[in-house]
């Protein structure tokens, strides 16, 4: 039988807690919590400043792209306002509607890379020119970049999908129905309506009535049918907003 040799280990009493006084312990914990809150607040503040700067830079770039196709630049403002309004009308949250109003103006940011010979061509595009023009959706998403920040993730979705069609005949990927991001489906309706009802160098603006006729033909083809119905039902609200935005732009 094996026996133990040497002195038997002695186990002393447990060491006293660092804070015998529970009130002192709670006070120290509160200081730790306050320090952590301060650090998190500073980090949050820095991230918000970066996000704000990024948004400003993208908006300036989008406006530069827009000025090449619309010398007033008001189309961007209307698309932003209209998109936020339609988002609310279809039942999206206030936060989502506000986000969309901020990022919808970036929908055509990729046009900054399209040559004037294509962008400003008044007639029909050749197949090669159409391919160049259609690529602005992918370019736009690449300019905005991938991001975990919801605002910029939505901006990239809008740029990439606002030319996709409900029936799958759009570009760049030919996806259909609810495969298309909801924000892209909203901007598709808004962009189409506003583009038709504004003056271009190569044509006069269509009336609201004529634009709606053209859009109704595309119900369930180009446009989400339920979203289009909501837009048409509330057209007066969009017309009123357009007058306000146009009036504000003249006073800048």
- Give the residue numbers marked as catalytic: 111
Give 137's DSSP letter. H
Degrees (nearest 5) of the Cα angle 74, 158, 192?
50
Written in H, E and C, the secondary structure of 26-89 is: HHHHHHHHHHHHHHHHHHHHHHHHHHHHHHHHHHHHHHHHHHCCCCCCHHHHHHHHHHHHHHHH
Q: Is 200 helix (H, G, I), strand (E, B) or coil?
A: strand
Give 104's DSSP letter. G
Residue 2: CB atoms within 10 Å: 4
Output the CA–CA distances (angstroms, integers) from residue 198 to 40, 82, 84, 134, 164, in the order listed.
Answer: 47, 14, 20, 21, 22
CA distance 231 to 225: 10
Residue 130: CB atoms within 10 Å: 13
Asked if residues 211 and 196 have their Cβ atoms less than 8 Å apart, the reply is yes
DSSP H helices in the chain: 22-67, 74-89, 94-103, 116-119, 127-134, 136-144, 150-161, 182-196, 208-217, 225-233, 235-250
């Amino acid at each position: 039988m094996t026996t133990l040799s040497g002195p038997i280990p002695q186990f002393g009493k447990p060491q006293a807690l660092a804070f015998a006084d529970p009130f002192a312990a709670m006070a120290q914990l509160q200081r730790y919590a306050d320090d952590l809150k301060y650090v998190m607040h500073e980090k949050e503040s820095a991230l918000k400043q970066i996000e704000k700067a990024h948004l400003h830079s993208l908006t300036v770039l989008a406006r530069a792209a827009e000025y090449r196709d619309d010398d007033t630049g008001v189309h961007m403002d209307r698309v932003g306002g209209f998109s936020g309004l339609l988002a609310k009308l279809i039942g999206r949250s206030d936060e989502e509607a506000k986000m969309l109003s901020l990022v919808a103006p970036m929908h055509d940011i990729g046009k900054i890379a399209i040559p004037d010979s294509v962008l400003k061509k008044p007639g029909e595009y050749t197949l090669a020119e159409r391919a160049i023009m259609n690529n602005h959706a992918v370019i736009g998403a690449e300019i905005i970049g991938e991001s975990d920040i919801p605002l910029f993730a939505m901006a990239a979705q809008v740029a990439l999908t606002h030319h996709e069609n409900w029936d799958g005949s759009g570009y760049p990927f030919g996806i259909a129905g609810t495969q298309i991001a909801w924000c892209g489906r909203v901007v598709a309706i808004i962009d189409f309506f506003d583009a038709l009802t504004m003056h271009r160098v190569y044509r006069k603006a269509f009336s609201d009535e004529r634009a709606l006729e053209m859009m109704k033909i595309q119900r369930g083809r180009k446009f989400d049918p339920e979203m289009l119905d909501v837009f048409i039902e509330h057209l007066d609200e969009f017309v009123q907003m357009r007058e306000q935005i146009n009036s504000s732009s003249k006073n800048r």
